[in-house]
């Protein structure tokens, strides 16, 4: 067969194209071969260290039940709890909760009984006031003292301190008695609180009935105080008792109060404490009912003030006398409450002295008529109030007056 010229040309072109493709394929294969990495020996990776195999033998005992620990005897119960490593605080919580539950029925029984009124009837006034709350409170307090004694004997723990700790409240007695171990602190606290409750029962006639205390009442108060002193002395060593007297005795409170705002030193406190204790040991607390006894007590009080003056010196005694002034105390409290400088209270107090001197001069002046004196005193009062208001600021000034103080500005 004879091929046309065009067919021959196409055939030759296809042959050339196939040859070119074959050349390119071979060229590519040679290039990949040249680029291939030279094989190397495989890396030797060290084997991991042998893991020590531990064989744990688990011995299963009988299931734990609280009945294995519980006992009718609290001391045995506590011993068993400690034997299994129960934390001491957890043991306290368990025992306290159990004693609370045990005595709860007696506390409920001591509460004043009353029928629940319909919702539309008054409960807080007529019905509630008809019940004697005081007797109920005394019974409940007696049960609480019993509870605290039990906890103290079982665990050597001050129950009130534990309660305050749980509630996150400040424990005032705990802070004052922090030099004592828990068990002694509990005994002292109970003695102090029982004594305070008994004294309150005697003094209620003054507050609720408006009657004065009789000689018998004063004798009863002295008896209560002596009983408290005896119980506390029996609980403490001589050194602990001395520290208690300096921290918690009525004499210590009176001396600390008399040194208000003076930033007193320990030496000054101890000096005044010794003088005041001698006076208190003789006369006790409160005014005697007998007029002759009151006169003798007043004379002893003057002698006490003279002795304090001699010990402190004139300059320091002037600060001591100022500390007894209710107006100075009120000014100091107002300044502290509203974050004013302490000097602001002193500034106003000194102004008080100047105003009182001017008022005396006006009243006794022979050159002024009654009308002139009245008008001048009115102007002086207005000026004084304005000066004190500016010195304290409006809020502190109103607070100071709400305490029933500041009468010196007008009279």
Pairwise pLDDT comparison (347 vs 23), residue with the higher score: 347
- Which pLDDT score is estimated for 115? 61
Q: What is the dihedral of CA 5, 7, 12, 16, to 10 degrees?
A: 140
Residue with tokens 């004063």: 218
Residue 91, pLDDT above cutoff 70? yes
Average pLDDT over residues 204-232: 85
- Band the pLDDT of 50: cuts 50, 70, 90: very low
Residue 48, pLDDT above cutoff 90? no
Spans of all domains in the chain: 249-324, 326-411
d(Cα 247, Cα 192) in Å, to the nearest integer? Answer: 13
d(Cα 167, Cα 189) in Å, to the nearest integer? Answer: 19
* pLDDT tens-digit readout, 131-184: 567 777 888 888 888 898 888 888 888 888 888 888 888 888 888 899 999 889
For residue 406, which phi and psi values (nearest 5 degrees)? 90, 10
Query: pTM of the entire structure?
Result: 0.65
Residue 2, pLDDT above cutoff 50? no
Q: Residue 145: which of 180, 200, 194 has the closest Cα?
A: 194
- Which pLDDT score is estimated for 111? 73
Residue 53, pLDDT above cutoff 50? no
Pick from 6-10, 87-91, 121-125, 139-143: least confident: 6-10
* pLDDT tens-digit readout, 278-292: 999 888 777 777 888
Pairwise pLDDT comparison (117 vs 137), residue with the higher score: 137
- Band the pLDDT of 64: cuts 50, 70, 90: low
In whole numbers, what is the pLDDT of the chain averaged over residues? 81
Contact 80, 71 (CB under 8 A): yes
Pairwise pLDDT comparison (247 vs 126), residue with the higher score: 247
Query: How would DSSP label each residue in 146-163?
Result: HHHHHHHHHH---HHHHH
């Amino acid at each position: 067969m004879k091929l046309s010229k065009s067919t021959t040309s196409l055939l030759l072109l296809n042959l050339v194209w196939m040859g070119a493709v074959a050349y390119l394929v071979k060229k590519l294969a040679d290039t990949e071969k040249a680029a291939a990495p030279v094989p190397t020996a495989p890396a030797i990776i060290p084997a991991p260290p042998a893991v020590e195999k531990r064989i744990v033998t688990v011995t299963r005992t009988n299931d734990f039940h609280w009945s294995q620990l519980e006992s009718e005897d609290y001391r045995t119960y506590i011993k068993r709890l400690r034997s299994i490593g129960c934390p001491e605080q957890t043991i306290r919580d368990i025992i306290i909760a159990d004693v609370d539950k045990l005595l709860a029925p007696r506390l409920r029984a001591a509460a004043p009984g009353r029928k629940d009124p319909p919702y539309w009837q008054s409960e807080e006034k007529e019905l509630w006031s008809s019940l004697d709350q005081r007797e109920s409170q005394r019974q409940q307090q007696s049960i609480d003292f019993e509870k605290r004694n039990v906890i103290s004997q079982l665990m050597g723990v001050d129950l009130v301190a534990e309660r305050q700790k749980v509630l996150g409240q400040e424990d005032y007695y705990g802070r004052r008695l922090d030099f004592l171990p828990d068990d002694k602190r509990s005994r002292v606290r109970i003695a102090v609180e029982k004594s305070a409750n008994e004294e309150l029962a005697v003094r209620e006639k003054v507050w609720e009935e408006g009657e004065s205390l009789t000689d018998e009442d004063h004798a009863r108060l002295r008896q209560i105080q002596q009983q408290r002193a005896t119980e506390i002395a029996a609980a403490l060593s001589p050194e602990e008792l001395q520290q208690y007297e300096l921290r918690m005795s009525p004499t210590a409170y009176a001396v600390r109060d008399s040194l208000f705002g003076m930033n007193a030193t320990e030496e000054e406190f101890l000096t005044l404490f010794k003088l005041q204790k001698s006076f208190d040991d003789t006369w006790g607390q409160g005014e005697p009912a007998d007029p002759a006894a009151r006169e003798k007590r007043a004379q002893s009080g003057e002698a006490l003030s003279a002795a304090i003056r001699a010990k402190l010196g004139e300059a320091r005694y002037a600060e001591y006398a100022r500390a007894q002034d209710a107006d100075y105390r009120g000014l100091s409290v107002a300044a502290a409450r509203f974050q004013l400088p302490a000097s602001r209270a002193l500034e106003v107090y000194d102004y008080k002295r100047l105003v009182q001197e001017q008022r005396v001069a006006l009243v006794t002046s022979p050159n002024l008529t009654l009308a002139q004196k009245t008008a001048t005193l009115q102007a002086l009062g207005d000026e004084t109030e304005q000066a004190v208001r500016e010195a304290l600021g409006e809020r502190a000034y109103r607070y100071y007056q709400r305490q029933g103080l500041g009468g010196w500005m007008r009279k």
